[in-house]
A and B are shown apart, each in its own frame.
Chain A
Amino acid sequence: MARRGVGTWVREGVWEIPLRRYTALLVAAALVAGLVFAVRVLLHEDRSCGPGVARPEGSDECVGVATGPYDFGQPRLRDVVGAIGRENDRLKPGSYVTVAVLLPYTSTSPTSLNDIRHQLQGAYLAQYQANHGSNGERPQIRLVLANPGATGAYWRRTVEQLTAMTTSGDRLRAVAGVGQSTNAAKLAVGELTRHRIPVVGSSITADDLANGQQGKDPFPGLARVAPTNTDEARALASFAKVSAGRALLVYDKPGDPYTRTLQQSFAALIKGSPYEPQPFTPPGDRTEEGTTANTFRQITHLVCDTSRGTDTILFAGRHTQLRQFINALGGRGCQDRRFTVLTGDEASYLTHEKDLDRGALRHNLSVRYTSLAHPDTWLRATERTGGSAADFTALRRLLADADREPVGPIGTAALDDGQLIIGYDALRLAVHGIREAVPSGGSVPALGDVGLQWPQVKGSLRVDGASGWICLDVHGNPYDKAVPVVELTPQGGSHFVRIAWPEGKPPGKECLPPS
């Protein structure tokens, strides 16, 4: 008995006695469970940021679909997110469908964040208007923020979450926004539409992120509020009367869908130009500075070397590169020659850009671009069709109400970059599709039915957007959408020049795309 070891004690004093055996097993199981739990807690930091939002492995970015009022750590978004949260909380379960606003909320660029805030404010105003100002139409609209990451790297994860929300109590019925025409955005839209989730693009203008190109519809259920780059380029051409001998093309190589389609449209306009198009190669993330400033300095020399008849530079690039180019042009040798830089809607980002050398704009240099929308468009326009001042004034009134309860506050808002207007219009189009798809007697449309409404948005079923009439062709692209041409001012801002039309003239009263 003296040699009783621990093993003997366990064997005879515990294991042999059923009561102690089972108690010991229970305790051991509890200990193991506790240990496992403790280890998990210790080893696995909490990667959650908020409801539906988490940091993926190896990243500090909060991505996912924020189902609660989560501002993605951006103080600029706090007010509008709070306003959306309040509006969402007001909705009774079962009475609403969800629309996600897919934008890169964790972007670090202040310019992009301003645009995002404005788009989100517009979307919120459209939600508020849909829930409060439309005679109690059903269903009501709940907004959630979907973030695929600053560069869209985590689009798949976010899309999976969105897909799951279509069948859950969230009843997701449309995704609006999407933001810039990046590769990730293209993949995300492809995946979303593959799951038959309707997508309403707000500021996507790239030709290959649209249906109907070369007769194919790769994104069934995608509708766009903004005209394609081609349409923008056509509108610009009709506005500026650009001819091959007077223009030089500077383009992003290899480019992204936006720059590529813009480049192709510009190249088509100046076919037969004596000047070779000048490429530049920016970093992968086009919001980074990179080394392109040097390239642009060299291109400036070439610009001065052109014949004196040349006065137009067509720029197919993103806004950071545009800023560098403008700054470089500001220091060009031939200050006496007058140049006009024509570019796409990316230039709207420069409206409030601090790094832009505004002095350059005073020395025989004007930067004109096609804006997605501009607040002055319909105040000065003379056209009777294609949009109206009344439609825009409705938004202005809503925005004025948003300064205080119950609508606001939604934070500092600005109209002149057009993002608020385009966000508002995108969501209005989404709401229009959702409500048109509601079956008679029901209150919630089937997911696939929403996307089927887009070809019918024309004629009297058009959406009278704040940016102009939105009439969609059978591919979901806007037909003859008003394109405001805007010029950057040296004072820091932009002024409206005039409306340009992709078709060369405003649409007819009936607004029906030709077959």
Chain B
Amino acid sequence: MHRRLHGRGALFDVDPAGLAPRLVGLRPHQHRAHPYEHPDEPPFVVLTGARGLGKSAVLAELRDAYRGHTPVALVDCAEEQFRAPPPDRPAASWSPLGQALLVLAEQLAAPVTGAGRITFPRLMSGLVAVAAGGWGDADSERIRREVERILLLNESGSWIGSLAGRWAGKVAAKVVAAATGTGPLVSGAIEATLEAVAEGFTHRRHQKASVWYRTYPNAGGNAQRGLILLSQHFRDGGSSREHAERYLVRALLADLTEAYAGVLPRMQRLGRPLVLLDNAQAAPGPGLVAAVLRDRTEGVADRVAFVAARRGEGRAELPGAVRRALPEVARRCDWVPEATPSSRALLLALPPLSADDALHIVGAVCGDIAVPPHLPAAAHRLTGGNPLGIVLLAESAAQAAAGASAPADLLTSGLRPAEDLPAVPAYEALLARLVPAEHLDALTVLAAAHDHASACALAAALLPDTFGPASVRELQTLLAEEGLPDVPGRFVGDPFVRTLLLLRLHLRDADHASWRTAHETLIAHYPDEGHAPYRLHHELALGDTGGAVAHLRDTFPTAEPRAWLRGLRFIASAPYFHAHDAEGRDFTGRGDRRTAIALGRTDAGHAVPPGADAVLHLRIRRLLHAVWLLADPLVLPDPQVCDRLRFELEQLSNLRPAGNALLWRASRDWPAAALAGRPMEDLGDGDGGDGGDGGPDDDRGEA
């Protein structure tokens, strides 16, 4: 079977079964039943993760896998239609959740293999009652338009379809007549609707549906009164509206339950209906999730499989939810609902893709187009397994000229998102989807920062005056909500996003003015010796290696080896977007001088500062450039440089008998890690905190 998604086998596997077949009760893309893992009540699955991790792709694949086999609805809560009511509709009779329920029901109604359309008489009655609340000054044409869309929810679509169509028209006429008449507006419309439901169909199911609102609180056993109260509560807003909305959600689920009840439906329908909510952190999402979870907690059972996707971890909204990484639930969930509503949710963090997945994706995207053989590995190393990044890099490689193969070239080359759209640089296309557009400019600047203080310094230098420390804090919070990792020493925790942002900063001005200003600001921000690695890091970013070499050379004999190595790594993690000339100035031509220096080809022409140990100085210089090169995610590791790195570290270990073991191990581990595309990790037990003078750890991921 054709697989669109890679690396999501934990969800879509068939044998042994992944989460999706165990949850829905159907094998993906097949009309074959599969035993439920939770026959009584399925977990409310919420996929979490930052942008670009493939949440939407997973939901789309779920929809494609089950469409036609079981009722499926996919709603993107970030869509425009949920943001505001239609222009001619008063806000009192409209809510994002109501709109979402209508859209969900419209999609769920579609017929599937073996069974016909599902009707939603309860939801229809409720939505008509809610809509009627806004018809105070409406013309009949608008009322007819609104009511007819809702009435279509009761369309069975079978051989009596034409009859039902006529029924909808008749009811619409009746409702319009009642609404524009003289009597009390809402009750008139509701009465007409209820009458039509009860009269138009003598079927037991419809009669049951027409009296469903009898149980609405304070309805006193009168369905019409229940609907009037519902409409009133909805119009009242606030918690009253929440109450009404919860009842509407319950109506939808009751209609679905009804569609699955009885001998005949049980013999016709396989699995559970599937409701997919993308961007569930946005408006109708939280309300819908809360309503379902609360009903389930209160024992109002439904038989729907929910899969929502939300950015961030949602710890505030779903505090008691069970949290798992996706691979952990590949075979079983270990999920047991507890007393709290949020415990009925199962939060699944989408992990980055593996190198193998990257290989598969590049193969799938590029197809027959010849791409450099190292591209999958490079893409995986650069993106850290971000699916969107891998896909766009592969597309960029597929569209680019045959020569462009380095990751840096692919990021800056033009990428056409579609046939008829103009090309944009790949890094811009990526940032547009990985970073909220309204904060992109601020983040572009602040990506160079390390903590709140340095961010404030950068903001003061490069951002408008309105962007103060409070805005920096707000941005920090936003990043956490977006699901980006919180890494000490980095304002933007995700290395891939940070790389893209810094690249954007670098390319913002033709003469790299912003880039220089940012780094100079930070160099000035860290004048003291205690923060030397930070300062030297930014000097390196500007192409000035002198200070770094001197600092490392001078501290080598005395510093604790572990801290010294950590400092070396941090300094060498500075970005290197294009070549600098010997003086560190931007060099317009192509080429990377780090390799030449690391291999010692420029040693002869390099003037050793007076008073310094020339051998040690040159060795440190070669070492710094080797690490700088090998840690650069935009450049592929050079085996020759790796070899040289090993040699230099070996030699250094001889000079420091006390730190011999540590340096010698680094000489073995670092080249191997670099060649394998892994970060050059901290050595030993990793207990070494971020020693102030040792410089912050650059953390894993900066490879």
Binding site for B on A (CB under 8 A): 1, 11-13, 16-20, 22
Question: Quick one: which of B450-470 are within 8 Å of A by CB?
Answer: none
Q: Which of B263-271, B324-332, B549-557, B584-592 contacts A (4 or more CB under 8 A)?
A: B263-271
Interface size band for B: 10 to 19
Residues of chain B within 8 A (CB-CB) of A1 are 29
Residues of chain B within 8 A (CB-CB) of A17 are 31, 113-115, 267-268, 270
Q: How far is the CB of B15 from chain A (nearest CB, A)?
A: 15
A282 to B380, CA, bound (A): 109
Q: How far is the CB of B2 from chain A (nearest CB, A)?
A: 9
Task: Name B265's closest neighbour in chain A (CB-CB).
Answer: A19
Question: Quick one: which of B66-115 are within 8 Å of A by CB?
Answer: 113-115
A393 to B483, CA, bound (A): 127
A20 to B266, CA, bound (A): 12
Residues of chain A within 8 A (CB-CB) of B267 are 17-19, 22
Q: How far is the CB of B31 from chain A (nearest CB, A)?
A: 4
Task: Name B33's closest neighbour in chain A (CB-CB).
Answer: A16
Contact check, A19 vs B30: say whether CB atoms are below 8 A apart: no
Q: How far is the CB of A457 from chain B (nearest CB, A)?
A: 75
Contact check, B32 vs A11: say whether CB atoms are below 8 A apart: yes
A13 to B68, CA, bound (A): 11
Q: How far is the CB of A12 from chain B (nearest CB, A)?
A: 4
Contact check, A12 vs B31: say whether CB atoms are below 8 A apart: yes
* B464-480 interface bits toward A, Cβ cutoff 8 Å, 1 = contact, 0 = none: 00000000000000000
Residues of chain B within 8 A (CB-CB) of A11 are 32
Jot down 8 A-B pairs with beta carbons below 8 A, ordered by A: A12-B30, A12-B31, A12-B113, A13-B113, A16-B32, A17-B113, A17-B115, A17-B270
Question: Quick one: which of B1-50 are within 8 Å of A by CB?
Answer: 29-33
Task: Name A2's closest neighbour in chain B (CB-CB).
Answer: B2
Q: How far is the CB of A449 from chain B (nearest CB, A)?
A: 63
Q: Given A12-B113, A13-B113, check contact A19 B31 (CB 8 Å).
A: no
Binding site for A on B (CB under 8 A): 29-33, 113-115, 264, 266-268, 270
Q: How far is the CB of A135 from chain B (nearest CB, A)?
A: 70
Residues of chain A within 8 A (CB-CB) of B270 are 16-17
A13 to B115, CA, bound (A): 11
A47 to B29, CA, bound (A): 57
Contact check, B29 vs A13: say whether CB atoms are below 8 A apart: no
A19 to B267, CA, bound (A): 5
A20 to B29, CA, bound (A): 20
Residues of chain A within 8 A (CB-CB) of B264 are 19
A456 to B145, CA, bound (A): 109
A11 to B267, CA, bound (A): 15
A17 to B264, CA, bound (A): 11
Task: Name B69's closest neighbour in chain A (CB-CB).
Answer: A12
Closest 3 pairs (CB-CB, A-B): A12-B31, A17-B114, A19-B267
Q: How far is the CB of A25 from chain B (nearest CB, A)?
A: 12
Q: How far is the CB of A137 from chain B (nearest CB, A)?
A: 67
Task: Name B270's closest neighbour in chain A (CB-CB).
Answer: A16
Task: Name B115's closest neighbour in chain A (CB-CB).
Answer: A17
Residues of chain B within 8 A (CB-CB) of A12 are 30-32, 113
Residues of chain B within 8 A (CB-CB) of A19 are 114, 264, 267-268
Residues of chain A within 8 A (CB-CB) of B115 are 17
A467 to B264, CA, bound (A): 81
A17 to B33, CA, bound (A): 9
Residues of chain B within 8 A (CB-CB) of A13 are 31, 113-114
Q: Which of B30, B32, B114 gathers most chain A CB within 10 Å?
A: B114
Q: Which of A11, A18, A20 gathers most chain B CB within 10 Å?
A: A18
A12 to B114, CA, bound (A): 10
Q: Which of B264, B267, B270 gathers most chain A CB within 10 Å?
A: B267
Residues of chain B within 8 A (CB-CB) of A16 are 31-33, 114, 270
A19 to B29, CA, bound (A): 21
